[in-house]
Structures are given as C-alpha cells and as structure tokens.
A and B are shown apart, each in its own frame.
Chain A
Amino acid sequence: MTEHTHGNCENLLGSLSEYIDGELNPELCAEIEKHLAGCENCRVVLNTTKRTIDLVQTPTENPAMPTDVRERLFKRLNLDDYLNPK
C-alpha cells in the first residue's frame, strides 16, 4: 500500500457522502480520487458504503401496504365511497 497520512483518510470520510452523491466540486473529487488510488482501506469503505445504499434501494425492500390497512384509512378519512377504484 502507498504511504499516506491518516489525516487524508479522515478528510475522505468527512466528504464520503457528498462524493458518493456527486455533490463535490471537481477539485475536491480529484483530491479524493488521488487519495483513493493509494489507499485500499478507503477504497473498501467507499465501495461498501455505495453498495449499502444500493441494497436499501432495491425494490424488494419496498413491500406494499396491506389492503385492510387501506380500507381502514379510507373509512377514517370518510372516503368509503372511493374505496373501490384503485
């Protein structure tokens, strides 16, 4: 592994979210990418954090609301007459 200072890892960690979301300016991105090229641990943290976000966004994570819950909601809102068309 390339020599690097621990301070750079902390800097990267602080900007990790914004880097993943593409919200950093090109200069900061370049700085981060330079650090990543030489720091395997930071690459692992980046890859696994990205993957963590991907996993929670997969459709299997989004079960639909049960039909009886919908029925009670419509009744509570006095919208019983609109229960049928969904």
Chain B
Amino acid sequence: MIKPMPPEISLEALVAGDRAEFARLVDAYSDPIYRLGLRMLGTPQDAEDVLQNTFLNAMIHLPKFEGRSSLLTWLYRIASNEALMLIRKKKPEINLEDVSPSESDEDLKPLQFTDWSALPEDELLSGEGKQTLDRAIHTLPESLRIVFLLRDVEGLSIKETAEALNLTEVNVKTRLLRARLFLREQLSSYYGERLAHEVQND
C-alpha cells in the first residue's frame, strides 16, 4: 500500500531548500495527505486547510529533518497533528485520548454473525455499499479513525503509525482492533440485511 519515496526526490536537495524538489515532493504526496484530511474532518475546505498547513510546516521544518523516520511518515505526522488540532478547535468536547468507541468494553463484543465475506466485490462496493462503508468510517470516533486511516487505508506499519501519532505501539494496536471491530459490526448490519433479503427473494 505505502508508496516508497520516488527515486527522483532527493532528501539532500529538499533539506538544502531546493524549491523544484519541494514541488516534486508536493506532487508525490499531496493526494494521500488530502485524503487523510478529508476523512478526518469530513469537508473539502477543512481537508484543504490540513493539506496547506502540512506542506507549509514541512517547508519550514525540512532543514531540521533528521531522517529518524521516513519522509512520508514524517509528513503523515505533521498532517495528523494538523487534523487533530483542527478537530480540537472545531469540536472541543471530543476526547481524542479516548481509545474506546463507546462507553463500555462490552460493546466491542461481536453481535452480528452473518458471513457476508463471500459476496462479490462489485456487490459489496456498489453505490449504496460504498456509501455505507464511507459512513461507517466517518462514524468511527476520531481517536480510532486516525489510527485506522494511517494503518489500514494508508498502509503505515504499526511502528510508523505509533511514530506519526506519538502513541505507544500497544496503544495503536488497541485502537486498531477496536476500529476494525467497530467497522465490521457496522458493515455486518448492512450486508447481513442485504443477504437476508436476497435469501428471501430466492
């Protein structure tokens, strides 16, 4: 999933302040950064703010980039901070430290046991199916969503996700499990009903 650094981008040139090189960096990575902003904040305007602030910050701090993580992980780290800061500003009531999608662990127990996993992909991702998936991702609490997006959508490793979010790997794993189970439950409600409907109509 994760794109390696395009070979034509030189870290040395970036650190030295080469503008053409920075423009290439922007083109290589603005899509995933924009997408992350869109999925965290939910509106194109906020996603654009996250995108612009991420690359502005990157431009300012690149001369001090020490290369302890990959450049992309470093960009995701800046973008995640920007997104979370904007969420804090817009919705101060949200607890971003919260690792549970709901009040109690009991709610994590699976309730849906319909096996819809063999349904063909085009059926699962038909217009309504895709909307259900997007909606389900959007209903994930922010503290879980950011972990899920970095790990499962953008393809960072557990270690890279932990670095990007300044969390321990254990915390990332806990949040990831909760996010995955939460989404599974949401999708199972929807696809389970569709399956039952199909069986009835057969």
* Distance from A4 Cβ to chain B, minimum over Cβ atoms (Å): 15
**Interface size in chain B (residues, C-beta < 8 A):** 46
Chain A residues in 8 Å Cβ range of B27: 70, 86
The range of chain A's interface size is 35 or more
> Does B30 lie within 8 Å of A65, measured CB to CB?
yes
> Does A45 lie within 8 Å of B110, measured CB to CB?
yes
Q: Which residue of A lies closest to B30 (CB)?
A: A65
Bound complex: CA of A43 vs CA of B188, how far in Å? 14
Looking at the complex, which of B65-73, B82-90, B179-187 is the stretch in contact with chain A?
A: B179-187
Bound complex: CA of A17 vs CA of B173, how far in Å? 8
Chain A residues in 8 Å Cβ range of B173: 17-18
Chain A residues in 8 Å Cβ range of B130: 60-61
Chain A residues in 8 Å Cβ range of B19: 79, 82
> Does B48 lie within 8 Å of A17, measured CB to CB?
no
> Does A76 lie within 8 Å of B56, measured CB to CB?
yes
Among B20, B115, B153, chain A packs the most CB atoms within 10 A around the CB of B115
List the 9 closest pairs (A to B, CB-CB), nearest first: A82-B23, A47-B117, A51-B117, A65-B34, A17-B177, A44-B115, A49-B184, A52-B184, A45-B110
Which residue numbers of A lie inside 8 Å of B, CB to CB? 13-14, 16-18, 20-21, 23, 40-41, 43-45, 47-53, 55-58, 60-66, 69-70, 72-74, 76-77, 79, 82, 86
Which residue numbers of B lie inside 8 Å of A, CB to CB? 1, 19-20, 22-23, 26-27, 30-31, 34-35, 44, 48, 51-52, 55-56, 59, 108-110, 112-117, 121, 124-125, 130, 133, 137, 152-153, 155, 158, 173, 176-177, 180-181, 183-184, 187-188
